[in-house]
Structure 1
Amino acid sequence: MFNILNAEPLRTDEAFKIDASVSSNGVIFDFNVNENVYIYSDKFSILLGQEDITELLNLPKKKEYKSNQVYVSKFQILVPFGLISSSANLDKFNININYTGCSLDGFCYSPQNLVYSFTKFLNSYQISKINNSKNTSSNYQPSSVKKGSLNQDEIAINIENKGFILTLITFFGYGLLLSLTPCVFPMIPILSSIIVAKCGQDANIKKSFFISFIYVFAMSLTYAIAGILASFLGANLQSFLQIPTVLIGFALVFVILAFSMFGFYQIQLPAFLQNKINKKSENHSGLLGVFIMGFLSALIVGPCVAAPLAGALLYISKTGDLLLGGLSLFIMSFGMGVPLLIVGLGAGKFMPKPGFWMNQISKIFGFIMLFMAVWIASRVIGDNLSLLFYGILGIIFAVFMLPNSFKESDFWRIKLSFSLIVFIYSLILIIGFTNGSTSLTKPLLSEISHPKSSLNFTKISTIKELDDFIKNAKKPVIVDFWASWCVNCKELDKILKDPNLQDILSHFELVKIDVTKNSDDDLELMSKFNVYGPPSLVFFKDQKELKDEQIISVKNVDELKNKLENILNKI
């Protein structure tokens, strides 16, 4: 959505119109939801005082939208006087309406909390409304992370827009790759012995496959629980990830995991615990014993595949979606269990034997973990220094991938070509580092070769500070709403630093508002200027906001340059 220019969503009061009235039967709420907006049914509630009466009311018919039950269009809800009198005084009472909604264009509105007060006066009621909501909306960003109570819904919708099923298929692919590591193969004799013990002489494909399925299902359930926990704790993980020391700590963890994949040491449960777990599982019989064994096997193997598993959990924790978190690791574990299911089909003799090539796969995962460590640390060490680490790692990886001996075969040529390409690209990254570049895709585009950008942003965090700044500004003002988790914000930063923009930017005063923490001050600033999430540029001229010129995101340098020229030419 970085290519959307001036695409302004509806304000909250335009998207959701609610009128309250009193009839002889009770209180009537008329909802008029814009045709491009919907309300989540599971985020909708009506409270009489402190009591939730939602389930006692005649609610509108739900519609399904992308696996969600939603309310749309116009509908009416009656709160009968009989229900009100059972819990409140009819002379004076409050009804709270809570709801959360999103637009079809991918904008989510913050949770709404409306309090309607009804006071009886003569033969009618005086109605007053208080809006306790934090009225701000967020534009979905592909790499956005937790920034508020709505983020779980935002990310869930974003994943659906990009392909919820595709995400699950991707995790299944990860599972297939993990199934090729030596860690999974020890489960084959375990499962084989279970099949022999349970089936005996009556072994057949159907029965042995069913036992394998139960075993893999239990294993997958273990990973699903881990995924749900990671998703549930996602907000805390993300807030910690903003701290530089924690980022470096996470990077070091990935380095430790990488070296375990290289075989320098093993990260696993102590032997006495593994033996104890295995002995306990032997005491159970029937399918329950198979299930328990599968569950416990995941505990044993889990630390062994900790490196790729940790990467998966880190991704899931950022989504904050319980359903996706559980399903993703459940599916990934099923991918890991494919060799075990093949054993159940009686195709064990066709399974590849553990050997050198499987150890190579583990080491490739180790390199992936090291690259992830650099990626995590890049937010602390900077993009330029990251190029150096990427380059060094790439050269080592290229040498690792070189064929051990000369063989005239297509596979040998492909492997050699791949190693040479990685080696050359890694050298280019190191050259880019020495030239001051920060781009992985254009490492030879040196920032040093261009005039150094001297953008001086004034950092502001409250409305009062911004008002004072605008009053004293001698030039038009650009206010940049920015967040550390916002990928598109970094792209906009690069555009603003482009040499072709420096002349025209010198005619503006620049303000940066960091909304990373999504604090009350951040929300107040965003609400005041109808900012629906970073990156957003708000313009002021002659102490007045140019509302028609606000930019939600920018395509390229030329587009922003034209916009700035139009603003300067405005009378």
Structure 2
Amino acid sequence: MIRLMVLAVLGLCSVVLARADFLPPDQAFRYQLTPAADGRVMLHWDIADGYYLYRKGFAIEGTPKPVAGIDFPPGEMIEDEFFGTSEVYFHQAMIEIQPGAARTLSLTWQGCAEAGLCYPPQQASVTLPGTQGSREPVPAEDQQLAATLAGGHLLWGVAAFFGLGVLLAFTPCVLPMLPVLSALVVGRQARGWQGFTLALAYVLPMALTYAALGVVTALAGASMQAVFQQPWVVSVFAALFVGLALAMFGFFTLQWPGWLRDRLHRAGERQRGGTLLGAAAMGVLSAFLMGPCMTAPLAGALLYIAESGDVMQGGLALFALGLGMGVPLLLVATVGAHLLPKPGSWMNAVKVGFGYVLLGMALWWVARLLPASMVLALWGIWLLSVALTLWRTTGQRHAPVTPGGLLAGALAVVAGGWSLLMLGGAAAGGESPWRPLASWVSGAPAPQHDFMARFQPVPDIDTLSAQLAQASARGQWTLVDFYADWCVSCHVIEAEVFGDPAVQAALGSAQLLRPDVTDNDADDKALMQRYGIIGPPTLLLIGPDGEERRAQRIIGEVDAAGFLARWQAATEQE
């Protein structure tokens, strides 16, 4: 089974590689800055055949003072598949700049290939002739990772992403997969080499699928989240976890049809202790579930692939990232299996526990599709069920009192009481599991609700440009929050970061914008493409000059302290 999956993934990658014949952006678009008369400078762009640059994709900013003037040559009007009617430059573009008091230039440009590939915006900083002391802007975390892949040795880049994968394994995105694999190992009592083989059958397809999905998605120019977190996909995954949970509770026995089961049994005589096919299928499913989580390491790998077109190196990096994420799973299956007691009645309790974990995962995934108060009610029902199950384990008569029984009883009382608070809070319109009665304490809307009302919608690029221009005229900072309804981390940031009083105070005078890319339509893709964004959550910090402080870009989940540190670092540069 594993060999077949490897061949399938390699075949898919070969198709992708066959299409990866586009030039890297630094070869498709080359620039040179040369002095001209009267203190002016000429920015000469050499554009490869079959490629073009957008007139509106240029942004030229001077530091420490703005440039005195910019003269763009007339371009050619085309009907572009990405941005509609556009003015573009073919072959070359000569831009005349009057630097004034500027000493360095921050350049932004964007171009496409006529064959159908559009590059994300590129950025660079150049020193004007006759000036010294300028410095390149500090790259952001995802840019550093992309640069590591592009400039470093292949083995070094792969090793770096393997280490990042190990770290990612302990994030809320990957950690829920630990009990899934543990259930496979515990349920089969696989030990030693058998446990390792079973875990490897889980981890290897997960890493292969993770790499293949990342490569294909990056080359297609789409967001992994939009593809694999559509409402119907999320609903299917949630229903699958509910079905697996019911099987754990004993409602039915999940198994292959008899004729297929017999054949698999005969073929797997030498693999006692594990079902490789089931582990491999769960590994592929896990890749679909974990892949959409937006983190800087993943964004760095995808950014590198999209910019350089080096699918092989980027694919290896993503494969190493997936293997690193699987290391803790392998440890659970091997080292942990030796510590498991012998089979007994305890296994039923473990199965029930895993059933509740699977139900919790189903609720966690479907939560993005439901109103917050309904989600709170469902979590209350889930916690109440856990409490009743714990209480039942302590309700046997004439049973000796044990420390474990006392602990289970105490947990049952606490869980049951809190679940009732959650249900009561949900009935009153509450939303937070940690503050279920917040809506009862005061009839006024929660402070974060008032704060979130300050976020202005951004439907397209033109609207965003106009809003940024208005903020620049007012000398105002802007926070741009790329959001989607199906993005779990977006809701976490809204509750834990934007709901924090210190964050609200820090953003008191800032303009707050929220492009909603839930639908992932043409306007949404254009907005993300404008800033080279892989997917939400991504937060842009844009200064009064209209330029993003790229080094402080936030990708993925962040807590209030981390956000404030980025915000302070960006604003203190002024």
C-alpha separation in 2, matches of 1:219 and 1:502: 49
Kindly provide the CA deviation profile for residues 458-490 of structure 1, in whole angstroms up to 9, marking residues without a partner as x: 422444333344567897674523233473675
Kindly provide the CA deviation profile for residues 263-318 of structure 1, in whole angstroms up to 9, marking residues without a partner as x: 11122222222211232456xxxxxxx4xx36x94236549x96x99568733674
Please report how far the alpha carbon of residue 374 of structure 1 lies from its aligned counterpart in structure 2 after TM superposition: 1.3
Contact 2:244 2:358 in 1 (8 A): yes
Is 1:230 the counterpart of 2:209 in the alignment? yes
Is 1:184 the counterpart of 2:163 in the alignment? no
The residue type equivalent to 2:289 in the other structure is: L
Counterpart residue number, 2:444: 449
What is the DSSP-based 3-state SS (H/G/I as helix, E as strand, rest coil) of the residue aligned with 1:443?
A: coil
The residue type equivalent to 1:434 in the other structure is: A
Kindly provide the CA deviation profile for residues 353-385 of structure 1, in whole angstroms up to 9, marking residues without a partner as x: 332x21111111111111111111111113332
Among candidates 430, 445, 457, match of residue 423 of structure 2: 430
C-alpha separation in 2, matches of 1:450 and 1:557: 26
Alignment of 1:132-171 (within 5 A): 134=120, 135=122, 139=141, 160=163, 164=167, 167=170
Relative to structure 2, which stretch is displaced further, 453-462 or 260-269? 453-462
Give aligned pairs, total.
386
Counterpart residue number, 2:244: 257
> How has the CA–CA distance of structure 1 residues 394 and 351 changed in structure 2, closer, same or farther, with 3 Å as cutoff?
closer
Contact 1:260 1:267 in 2 (8 A): yes
C-alpha separation in 2, matches of 1:231 and 1:376: 19
Counterpart residue number, 2:14: none
Task: State the TM-score, normalized to the length of structure 2.
Answer: 0.52
Counterpart residue number, 1:10: none
Contact 2:477 2:510 in 1 (8 A): yes
> How has the CA–CA distance of structure 1 residues 154 and 441 changed in structure 2, closer, same or farther, with 3 Å as cutoff?
farther
> How has the CA–CA distance of structure 1 residues 329 and 547 changed in structure 2, closer, same or farther, with 3 Å as cutoff?
closer
Alignment of 1:391-402 (within 5 A): 391-402=380-391
C-alpha separation in 1, matches of 2:277 and 2:516: 44
Is 1:314 the counterpart of 2:304 in the alignment? no
The residue type equivalent to 1:513 in the other structure is: P
Alignment of 1:67-82 (within 5 A): none
Gaps of 5+ in 1: 1-48, 53-91, 97-115, 118-129, 142-148, 189-211, 283-289, 343-349
> How has the CA–CA distance of structure 1 residues 436 and 501 changed in structure 2, closer, same or farther, with 3 Å as cutoff?
farther
Alignment of 1:109-508 (within 5 A): 134=120, 135=122, 139=141, 160=163, 164=167, 167=170, 174=179, 177-178=182-183, 181=186, 183-185=187-189, 213=193, 215-235=194-214, 238-281=225-268, 290=270, 293=271, 297-299=274-276, 302=279, 314-315=289-290, 318=293, 321-326=318-323, 328-329=325-326, 332=329, 335-336=332-333, 352-355=342-345, 357-402=346-391, 403-405=394-396, 407-446=400-439, 448-450=443-445, 453=450, 455=453, 457-469=455-467, 478-484=478-484, 485=487, 487=489, 490-492=492-494, 496=498
> How has the CA–CA distance of structure 1 residues 399 and 507 changed in structure 2, closer, same or farther, with 3 Å as cutoff?
same
Please report how far the alpha carbon of residue 407 of structure 1 lies from its aligned counterpart in structure 2 after TM superposition: 3.2
Contact 1:489 1:534 in 2 (8 A): no
What is the DSSP-based 3-state SS (H/G/I as helix, E as strand, rest coil) of the residue aligned with 2:542?
A: strand
Please tell me the root mean square deviation across aligned C-alpha atoms, in Å: 5.5
Please report how far the alpha carbon of residue 396 of structure 1 lies from its aligned counterpart in structure 2 after TM superposition: 0.7
C-alpha separation in 1, matches of 2:511 and 2:162: 37
Relative to structure 2, which stretch is displaced further, 448-457 or 430-439? 448-457
C-alpha separation in 1, matches of 2:158 and 2:515: 23
Among candidates 534, 540, 550, match of residue 538 of structure 2: 534
Contact 2:248 2:352 in 1 (8 A): yes
Relative to structure 2, which stretch is displaced further, 456-465 or 531-540? 531-540
Please report how far the alpha carbon of residue 260 of structure 1 lies from its aligned counterpart in structure 2 after TM superposition: 1.1
C-alpha separation in 2, matches of 1:377 and 1:416: 30
Please report how far the alpha carbon of residue 259 of structure 1 lies from its aligned counterpart in structure 2 after TM superposition: 0.7
Kindly provide the CA deviation profile for residues 425-464 of structure 1, in whole angstroms up to 9, marking residues without a partner as x: 2222223323433223333333853466272544224443
The residue type equivalent to 1:408 in the other structure is: V
Please report how far the alpha carbon of residue 415 of structure 1 lies from its aligned counterpart in structure 2 after TM superposition: 1.0
> How has the CA–CA distance of structure 1 residues 219 and 439 changed in structure 2, closer, same or farther, with 3 Å as cutoff?
same
Contact 1:179 1:335 in 2 (8 A): no
> How has the CA–CA distance of structure 1 residues 458 and 424 changed in structure 2, closer, same or farther, with 3 Å as cutoff?
same
Please report how far the alpha carbon of residue 352 of structure 1 lies from its aligned counterpart in structure 2 after TM superposition: 1.6
Relative to structure 2, which stretch is displaced further, 395-404 or 489-498? 489-498
Aligned residues with identical type, % of pairs: 17
Please report how far the alpha carbon of residue 493 of structure 1 lies from its aligned counterpart in structure 2 after TM superposition: 6.5
Kindly provide the CA deviation profile for residues 20-50 of structure 1, in whole angstroms up to 9, marking residues without a partner as x: xxxxxxxxxxxxxxxxxxxxxxxxxxxxx98
C-alpha separation in 1, matches of 2:438 and 2:483: 26
C-alpha separation in 2, matches of 1:470 and 1:495: 23
The residue type equivalent to 1:465 in the other structure is: T
Gaps of 5+ in 2: 1-20, 25-46, 52-90, 93-108, 112-118, 124-138, 144-149, 151-155, 218-223, 299-317
What is the DSSP-based 3-state SS (H/G/I as helix, E as strand, rest coil) of the residue aligned with 1:426?
A: helix
What is the DSSP-based 3-state SS (H/G/I as helix, E as strand, rest coil) of the residue aligned with 1:480?
A: strand
> How has the CA–CA distance of structure 1 residues 550 and 511 changed in structure 2, closer, same or farther, with 3 Å as cutoff?
farther
Contact 2:483 2:490 in 1 (8 A): no
Please report how far the alpha carbon of residue 389 of structure 1 lies from its aligned counterpart in structure 2 after TM superposition: 0.5
> How has the CA–CA distance of structure 1 residues 157 and 177 changed in structure 2, closer, same or farther, with 3 Å as cutoff?
same
Please report how far the alpha carbon of residue 156 of structure 1 lies from its aligned counterpart in structure 2 after TM superposition: 9.5
The residue type equivalent to 2:347 in the other structure is: M
Please report how far the alpha carbon of residue 250 of structure 1 lies from its aligned counterpart in structure 2 after TM superposition: 1.9
Contact 1:176 1:336 in 2 (8 A): yes
Counterpart residue number, 2:528: 522
What is the DSSP-based 3-state SS (H/G/I as helix, E as strand, rest coil) of the residue aligned with 2:350?
A: helix
C-alpha separation in 1, matches of 2:445 and 2:247: 43
The residue type equivalent to 1:257 in the other structure is: L
Contact 1:251 1:377 in 2 (8 A): yes
Counterpart residue number, 1:3: none
The residue type equivalent to 2:257 in the other structure is: P
C-alpha separation in 1, matches of 2:432 and 2:532: 31
Contact 2:165 2:321 in 1 (8 A): no
What is the DSSP-based 3-state SS (H/G/I as helix, E as strand, rest coil) of the residue aligned with 1:511?
A: strand
Kindly provide the CA deviation profile for residues 172-210 of structure 1, in whole angstroms up to 9, marking residues without a partner as x: 9648843674x304x68xxxxxxxxxxxxxxxxxxxxxx
